Structure 1
Amino acid sequence: MTEVLSELSPARKAVAAASRVVVKVGSSSLTTAAGGLAPARLNALVDAIASRQERGSQIVLVSSGAIAAGLAPLGVQRRPKDLATQQAAASVGQLALAHAYAASFERYHLTVGQVLLTADDVVRRSHYRNAQRTLSRLLALGVVPVVNENDTVATDEIRFGDNDRLAALVAHLVMADALILLSDVDSLYDGDPRKGDARRIAEVTGPSDVEGVRAGRTGASGLGTGGMASKLAAARLAASAGIPVLLASAEQAAAALGPADVGTAFAVTGPRLSARRFWLGHAAGAAGRLWLDDGAVTAVVRGRRSLLAAGITAVDGEFDAGDVVELVDVEDRVVARGVVAFDAEELPALIGRSSHELPPEQRREVVHADDLVPLRFL
């Protein structure tokens, strides 16, 4: 493998050498609408994961497929659109999926642990830390955690939206060295590869490499919910937080988990954030918005300074001191997120005023620099 790696990009070398890896696989790669789970596909994925684990890596598997696996036993032909039937299918399919993984990993004498998450488990700081501790302990015990969104109880209001984003959040939560996204498409293309004129993008080193990419939102099978758009968003999210990403097809799992010489590699585009700062920037739910003037945007984003009342032009939302809010520039772009130090009712009387104009008890930062994460660089 050393000779092969010497010819690869830094991002691919990092993925191939990673000691802790999050692997995400989509529904269409594990199931069929007619027959539920596809054992041969699932076993091939487990073979690749077990081989990588035998070489010393720790693996967290984020697996879709619960709803799709429950369709055939319920006699449902296509993925249902109503939430109640989706939850019923997940209830049946989750058992089938967990049993299939347990039986397949048992061939390698590996134990699996099921971890079901809702968006609430990463939005709430205390839940986030609990999930982090659980996953870390499972890995320390030599268990392969199999993570999925808890589709049985998740509602439209508290969903991740797709397991690609969940995988990116989990990758940072467990401090992974790499994220591998497996689907039914072998790479990122600038258009629909089924139409024959799309160009494959082998390496993504920054935003300019994906300009003009037209990414679809559902797979050809109709079983999944993410599509290439969500995979691209998840890859950029992870890369911006210091985690290299490889996007490949599930059929290429052995190579993706081996020399990483397939698919599309995403280079790291930002620094590794602490768990708390990542949670602030990408996982926590925002309870409101603060609009900033240009000077405040420059101070917050480029200068990494605290936000003062003088730089705020408008306030929206119902929030209390200690909630997370979005900071927005004059063009309505979210440029940062942070923990606000005032209640929503207090701020309107303070905005635009310098500290010396305020009562002594209110002469403090609206969002302190230690509680603030910039999302854009000027």
Structure 2
Amino acid sequence: MPRWGFFVWPTLLIARRQQVTSKPIVVIKAGSKSLCGPKGGWRYKVIHSIVSQAVTLKALGYDVIVVASGAIYHAKQKYGNGMDAQTYASIGQPKLQQTWEKAFWRRHRLLVGQIQFADQQLRGRSRHTVVNGLLKALRDGITPIVNSNDAVSEEEIDALPVLSDNDVLASLLAINVQAEHLIMLTTVDGVLDPRTGELISEMRYTERKIESRLQEMPGESNGGMKSKVKHGKRAARAGIDVYIASAKCPNVIVNTVLRNPQIGTHIIPKTAGNRRC
């Protein structure tokens, strides 16, 4: 499987995207603890719910990209301590991909494609290659399953906070494919006010006070709520509708895209006439 990188400024890709797919794109990002339990078992109910909703969106005329975390967390929780993160990743990544393949194929007869990134692939002249590959896969009816390539080297594992449990990856990917929606699924209802514990239903991409008050909790994966807000705002600044919500909420993805009842936290995007790409 080739390791693809992508170009982080999307303006040069708009015409190319229109040649490949004219469908609106939804990027779904699911965090490690949303997909995997404390003993390492997959949360199949959540995974099948995501798949079912992705299928519904495809039937409604959307293209879907899934950014899935959980490889290292799954292997470490299931097989215990004693191995380094690189080894955990090499164990967990094929199991993660297999789980998604089965969920899409056995129930819906839909194909998925595995795409992994390493940190250095987010730089360099060939970064646009992944965008072309992703859009080609979507045109062919394949659902890309994307995650960071955690098994490539110990140095990159040590630098994983820069990928923030795929939060950075999901945000940049959504920007580059000109997605209409980025939905970041987590284990809580959305962004909670650190002072009151109440759900913050809306915030603007320019919001700073809430982000500054958020603190990463001890023992959290790299993708804590502060990371989701930070990188969700980045996507919203590019004009993408961003939602942070619980993966366990029934039909959370479809309801968010169709703007049914308000779910989770909506990061209000920059208006189309004033986007900065």
TM-score (norm 1): 0.60
1:26 equivalenced with 2:31 (yes/no): yes
1:184 to 183, 187, 197: 187
Partner of 1:244: 241
Structure 2 residue identity aligned to 1:237? R
Cα 1:142–1:149, aligned 2, differ >3 Å: closer, same or farther? same
CA offset digits 1:66-96 (Å, max 9, x no partner): 11121244333xxx8xxx6111111111111
The within-5 A match list for 1:62-73 is: 62-73=67-78
Query: Contact conserved, 2:40 with 2:77, CA < 8 A, in 1?
Result: yes
Task: Provide the rounded CA distance (Å) in 1 between the counterparts of 2:184 and 2:45.
Answer: 19
Deviation at 1:253, TM superposition (A): 5.8
Structure 1 residue identity aligned to 2:31? G
Task: Provide the rounded CA distance (Å) in 2 between the counterparts of 1:169 and 1:218.
Answer: 24
TM-score (norm 2): 0.80
Secondary structure of 1:125's aligned partner: coil
Partner of 1:265: 266
Partner of 1:110: 110
Task: Provide the rounded CA distance (Å) in 2 between the counterparts of 1:124 and 1:156.
Answer: 21
Larger RCO: 1 or 2 (CA < 8 Å, sep 6+): 2
Task: Provide the rounded CA distance (Å) in 2 between the counterparts of 1:206 and 1:44.
Answer: 29
Deviation at 1:52, TM superposition (A): 1.6
CA offset digits 1:11-62 (Å, max 9, x no partner): xxxxxxx821111000011101313322222112212222222211100001
**Identity across aligned pairs (percent)?**
32
Query: Contact conserved, 1:36 with 1:70, CA < 8 A, in 2?
Result: no
Task: Provide the rounded CA distance (Å) in 1 between the counterparts of 2:267 and 2:180.
Answer: 13
Aligned residues: 243
Query: Contact conserved, 2:29 with 2:167, CA < 8 A, in 1?
Result: yes
Unaligned runs of 5+ in 1: 1-17, 279-378
Deviation at 1:173, TM superposition (A): 1.6
Task: Provide the rounded CA distance (Å) in 2 between the counterparts of 1:265 and 1:42.
Answer: 22
Moved runs in structure 1, 4+ residues, more than 3 A?
270-273
Cα 1:93–1:157, aligned 2, differ >3 Å: closer, same or farther? closer
Query: Contact conserved, 1:22 with 1:171, CA < 8 A, in 2?
Result: yes
Partner of 1:340: none
Query: Contact conserved, 2:167 with 2:231, CA < 8 A, in 1?
Result: yes
Partner of 1:174: 177
Partner of 1:5: none
Query: Contact conserved, 2:205 with 2:236, CA < 8 A, in 1?
Result: no
Task: Provide the rounded CA distance (Å) in 2 between the counterparts of 1:205 and 1:161.
Answer: 21
In terms of Rg, which structure is larger?
A: 1
Partner of 2:204: 205
Cα 1:188–1:161, aligned 2, differ >3 Å: closer, same or farther? closer
Unaligned runs of 5+ in 2: 1-22
Query: Contact conserved, 1:26 with 1:182, CA < 8 A, in 2?
Result: yes
The within-5 A match list for 1:56-67 is: 56-67=61-72
Secondary structure of 1:207's aligned partner: coil
Secondary structure of 1:142's aligned partner: coil
Cα 1:243–1:185, aligned 2, differ >3 Å: closer, same or farther? same
Partner of 1:97: 96
Task: Provide the rounded CA distance (Å) in 1 between the counterparts of 2:128 and 2:206.
Answer: 31
Cα 1:187–1:72, aligned 2, differ >3 Å: closer, same or farther? closer
Higher helix share: 2
Structure 2 residue identity aligned to 1:156? D
1:38 to 43, 46, 70: 43
Deviation at 1:122, TM superposition (A): 1.9
Partner of 1:360: none
Query: Contact conserved, 1:256 with 1:262, CA < 8 A, in 2?
Result: no
Secondary structure of 1:182's aligned partner: strand
Deviation at 1:110, TM superposition (A): 1.0
Partner of 2:150: 151
Query: Contact conserved, 1:36 with 1:71, CA < 8 A, in 2?
Result: no
The within-5 A match list for 1:114-133 is: 114-126=114-126, 128-133=127-132
